[in-house]
Structures are given as structure tokens and as C-alpha cells.
């Protein structure tokens, strides 16, 4: 038997979940939703699975591999948008031989209580129902310490932790002294709960740090995103002492090639004298050394009020490309590329419209852009949009190296970020 699985692209009630990963990779009591779906299909005798993914298919491909662990042969195909069951059957059903089952991965198959993203309240209720469902809560390391209190043998809990049912503490979770977990608390894999934290009716996502003394109720927290599942309100917490993502990003999320990261390290070291000069100039001018911006770092899923933002620092005492020297740290971490389209603020990203606008978000954000190489303002519309669209379509190693060489000359020489029209010279794209 064969199966076609449609991976959801976006749901309005998904909230805090789609900002961190494709929806099918949402954690459900220690395992991803996709893992629950594939396990069910394997038990039903399915051998071949075609996954249709419109949202970050590369992350899904890395997560499932080829399915050997489940005895499945899995293929991931990228689609322009989420297909309906009829569209999937028409477009891909002919490629399958024999009976074909088509389903949307927005629920745990066979579990009526586990249809996700219908509302924030029902989302949390589904998690809580899973604690009492042996089929959903079937993780090897979980043990029921007392009625309704499940703790992994790989979790580390201080002796003074207070656990109240229902509660679920997953593998590799750390809970520090005097924390109160429950009732209604779920801690996914790798979460870290600091001293004196109180969690009631709250879901904490994988590899999420909850700061000492925090008290959360009726909440869902993942990374630095915090959502009230009762009222639907959302907050991106910018202070890492309260809430932050402490997980390692998936390898495919690296937005920079290895040579870009090495070159970024070299530029950071060589730029230290320039950094000292900027600091001294800032002190003389009585300016802050850094200016902070909140930006989105493509490639992204759907852009909305829940989309994840990052802090980007730039120097204030210079208007040359050297003002972006602090951004090289993001390249070293693999969060930005050396060459790409410039990162946008949430407001600017939301304002992009049409296919041309979406091309801006298709490639990793870069420290240097085609507009920089041409001496233009990389954020001045509509010229910047044209540059970004051209780069995304014509993107090649040769073009990226051309842009990099020209921008490095401007960086080292402390030239102004934008030149006058008479200074413009065209790059060769052949």
C-alpha cells in the first residue's frame, strides 16, 4: 500500500508553532506530529510514502530521512502551496501503483481528540488529553511516578520540585530547585526550567529556557515566543533571562556555506582595529556604539504576527558598509549568509506583495546585497525590490563572488554605504 501525506502549510490558529518549524514537525509529547502519522501508516501496512510540503520542505526532508527506521520508503516533494486532497490525488496519484491513501497531516490518525490548530484552546487540550492516552504517550523512557504524573527516566529534576497531576516531563528536561510543575504542565524534550518557576496549564516547547522565578499559566511557550491559549494574545520575549531558545538549529537551517563562515571569522578578526576606532568615535560623539533592529531572517514560512525575529546590531558612528561588521557574527553562527537579500523588519516583510515580493524572502538574508554592490540603498523601494528579485532569480556562485568582492572593497575602504548615481558601475552577470 502507498500513501500521499499533505503537510499543512499554514493554519490561523497555529500561532506559536509555525514560527519555529513546519507544522508537521510540531512536537507532540516527545515526538513530532509527522512521526505519529508515519508510525500509524507503517502499522497499517503502508510501504511507500510521498510527502507533499509547501513550507520549508528541506527541514521535513532532514527530519524524516528515507524512513528506514520505520520500514518505509519516504519521498519529500516541494509544492508551491498546500494541495487539497483532490489536487494531490490528481497530480501525484498516477505515479503510484496499487491502492493509494491520501491524508492531511493535521491530526494523529485514528484519534478523534487530536485534530490540531482548530483553536488555541483546543490545541492545548489535545496536548493534555495525550498525557492520559497510552497510544500517544508511548515514549520508551516515560514512567508514571504517580497517577497522572509522567516523567522521563532521562529527565533531571531537583529534589525540591513539586509535581502536580496532570503533568508530563519529557526526555532531557531539566527542572531546578523549588519549581512547581502542574497541574496541566507539559515540558517537551530538552526544556530547561530554572529555580522557582511555576507552570500551570502550560506547554513548554523543546529546548526552551524558562527563567528563574517566572510564573506561567494558560500559556504555550516555544523558543522566545509566548502565547496565551485562553485569550489568543502573543508576545515575542526579547529578554533571554525570561524565555529563550537554547536548542541547536537543524543543520539544514544553516544559511551560510562553510567558506562564508570561515571568511566571516577572518573578517571579524581583521576588523577589530576598525571596531576600536568606531568605539572611540562613538564616545567622542557621545553616541551609543550600537543601534539595534528587529528583523526577520529568510527563508521563512508564512509571514504574520507570530513570525520569529532576530536582533541585528549595527554601528552608529559610521555610515559605511563597516557599520554592518557586527552582522558577521550572525554569519559565523550560520544564521545569515555573506551575500543575499538584506533582512527586513516585520513590517516591511509583511508589506511585500506578489511573486516579485516573495522572491525577497526566498533566499537567506545576507550582510551584503546586490544593491550594495551597485551603490544603491538596499531598503529603498522599489529599486531594492528589483535588485532582490533579480538576485533571487539569477543567484549563482559567480554572481555572489562578484558582489562579495565589490562590497569587501567598500567595507575595507570605509566608503559610504550608498554612492551617487555617477558612481554606479554595472556588474557582469555572464
DSSP letter for each residue of 95-135: G--S-EEEEESSB-TT-TT-B-SS-HHHHHHHHHHHHT-TT
Domain boundary among 75, 104, 133: 104
> Does any domain span residue 428?
no
Q: Examine the domain organization and report whether 239 and 163 are in the same domain.
A: yes
Q: Examine the domain organization and report whether 146 and 79 are in the same domain.
A: no
Contact 194, 212 (CB under 8 A): yes
- What is the 8-class DSSP label of residue 319? -
The pLDDT > 90 percentage for the chain reads: 48
> Does any domain span residue 312?
yes
Q: Examine the domain organization and report whether 258 and 403 are in the same domain.
A: yes
CA–CA separation, 103 vs 84, rounded Å? 9
DSSP sequence for 130-149: HHT-TTTS--TTEEEEETTE
Q: Examine the domain organization and report whether 20 and 128 are in the same domain.
A: no
> What range does the domain containing 51 cover?
2-104
Domain boundary among 104, 138, 162: 104
At 354 the pLDDT is 64
> Does any domain span residue 429?
no
Task: Answer yes or no: is pLDDT of 416 > 70.
Answer: no
Stretch among 89-98, 162-171, 262-271 having the lowest mean pLDDT:
89-98
Q: pLDDT band at 17, cuts 50/70/90? A: confident
Q: Examine the domain organization and report whether 175 and 317 are in the same domain.
A: no
At 219 the pLDDT is 96
Q: Examine the domain organization and report whether 100 and 137 are in the same domain.
A: no
Q: Examine the domain organization and report whether 237 and 268 are in the same domain.
A: no
CA–CA separation, 147 vs 131, rounded Å? 11
At 422 the pLDDT is 42
Residue at grid coordinates 582595529: 273
Contact 147, 130 (CB under 8 A): no
Number of domains in the chain: 3
> Does any domain span residue 163?
yes
Domain boundary among 71, 104, 137: 104
Task: Answer yes or no: is pLDDT of 50 > 90.
Answer: yes
The CATH number of residue 173's host domain is 2.160.10
Q: Examine the domain organization and report whether 264 and 379 are in the same domain.
A: yes
Stretch among 305-314, 321-330, 333-342 having the lowest mean pLDDT:
305-314
**Mean pLDDT of the residues in the chain:** 86
Task: Answer yes or no: is pLDDT of 175 > 80.
Answer: yes
Q: Examine the domain organization and report whether 275 and 183 are in the same domain.
A: no
Q: pLDDT band at 299, cuts 50/70/90? A: low
> Does any domain span residue 110?
no
Q: Examine the domain organization and report whether 413 and 274 are in the same domain.
A: yes
At 250 the pLDDT is 39
Task: Answer yes or no: is pLDDT of 57 > 50.
Answer: yes
At 420 the pLDDT is 46
Task: Answer yes or no: is pLDDT of 150 > 80.
Answer: yes
> Does any domain span residue 115?
no
Q: Examine the domain organization and report whether 283 and 418 are in the same domain.
A: yes
> Does any domain span residue 97?
yes
Q: Examine the domain organization and report whether 333 and 394 are in the same domain.
A: yes
CA–CA separation, 135 vs 28, rounded Å? 12
Q: pLDDT band at 355, cuts 50/70/90? A: low
At 197 the pLDDT is 97
At 209 the pLDDT is 96
The H helix count followed by the E strand count for the chain is 12, 25
- Mean predicted confidence (pLDDT) in 114-120: 86
Task: Answer yes or no: is pLDDT of 303 > 70.
Answer: no
Contact 286, 246 (CB under 8 A): no
> Does any domain span residue 109?
no
The CATH number of residue 44's host domain is 3.90.550.10
Amino acid at each position: 500500500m502507498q500513501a500521499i501525506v499533505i503537510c499543512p502549510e499554514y493554519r490561523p490558529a497555529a500561532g506559536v508553532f509555525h514560527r519555529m518549524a513546519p507544522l508537521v514537525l510540531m512536537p507532540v509529547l516527545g515526538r513530532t506530529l509527522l512521526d505519529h502519522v508515519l508510525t500509524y501508516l507503517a502499522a497499517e501496512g503502508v510501504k511507500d510514502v510521498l510527502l507533499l510540503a509547501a513550507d520549508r520542505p528541506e527541514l521535513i526532508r532532514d527530519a524524516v530521512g528515507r524512513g528506514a527506521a520505520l520500514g518505509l520508503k519516504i519521498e519529500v516533494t516541494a509544492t508551491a502551496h498546500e494541495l487539497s486532497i483532490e489536487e494531490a490525488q490528481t497530480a501525484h496519484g498516477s505515479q503510484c501503483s496499487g491502492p493509494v491513501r491520501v491524508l492531511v497531516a493535521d491530526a494523529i490518525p485514528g484519534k478523534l481528540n487530536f485534530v490540531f490548530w482548530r483553536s488555541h484552546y483546543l490545541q492545548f487540550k489535545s496536548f493534555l488529553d495525550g498525557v492520559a492516552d497510552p497510544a500517544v504517550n508511548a515514549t520508551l523512557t516515560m514512567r508514571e511516578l504517580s497517577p497522572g504524573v509522567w516523567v522521563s527516566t532521562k529527565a533531571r529534576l531537583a529534589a525540591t520540585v513539586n509535581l502536580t497531576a496532570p503533568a508530563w516531563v519529557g526526555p532531557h528536561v531539566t527542572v531546578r530547585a523549588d519549581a512547581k510543575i502542574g497541574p496541566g504542565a507539559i515540558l517537551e524534550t530538552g526544556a530547561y526550567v530554572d529555580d522557582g518557576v511555576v507552570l500551570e496549564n502550560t506547554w513548554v516547547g523543546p529546548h526552551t529556557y524558562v527563567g528563574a522565578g517566572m510564573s506561567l499559566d494558560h500559556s504555550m511557550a516555544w523558543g522566545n515566543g509566548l502565547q496565551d491559549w485562553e485569550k489568543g494574545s502573543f508576545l515575542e520575549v526579547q529578554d533571554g533571562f525570561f524565555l529563550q531558545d537554547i536548542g541547536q538549529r537543524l543543520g539544514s537551517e544553516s544559511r551560510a556555506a562553510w567558506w562564508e563562515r570561515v571568511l566571516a571569522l577572518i573578517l571579524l578578526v581583521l576588523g577589530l582595529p576598525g571596531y576600536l576606532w568606531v568605539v572611540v568615535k562613538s564616545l567622542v560623539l557621545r553616541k551609543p556604539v550600537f543601534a539595534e533592529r528587529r528583523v526577520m531572517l529568510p527563508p521563512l514560512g508564512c509571514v504574520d504576527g507570530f513570525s520569529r525575529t532576530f536582533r541585528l546590531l549595527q554601528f552608529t558612528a559610521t555610515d559605511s558598509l563597516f557599520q554592518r561588521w557586527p552582522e558577521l557574527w550572525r554569519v559565523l553562527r550560520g544564521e545569515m549568509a555573506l551575500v543575499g537579500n538584506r533582512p527586513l523588519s516585520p513590517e516591511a516583510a509583511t508589506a511585500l506583495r506578489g511573486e516579485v515580493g516573495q522572491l525577497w524572502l526566498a533566499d537567506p538574508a545576507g550582510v551584503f546585497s546586490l544593491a550594495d554592490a551597485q551603490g544603491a540603498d538596499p531598503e529603498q523601494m522599489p529599486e531594492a525590490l528589483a535588485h532582490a528579485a533579480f538576485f533571487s532569480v539569477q543567484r549563482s556562485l559567480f554572481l555572489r563572488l562578484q558582489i562579495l568582492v565589490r562590497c569587501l572593497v567598500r567595507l575595507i575602504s570605509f566608503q559610504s554605504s550608498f554612492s551617487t548615481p555617477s558612481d554606479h558601475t554595472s556588474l557582469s552577470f555572464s
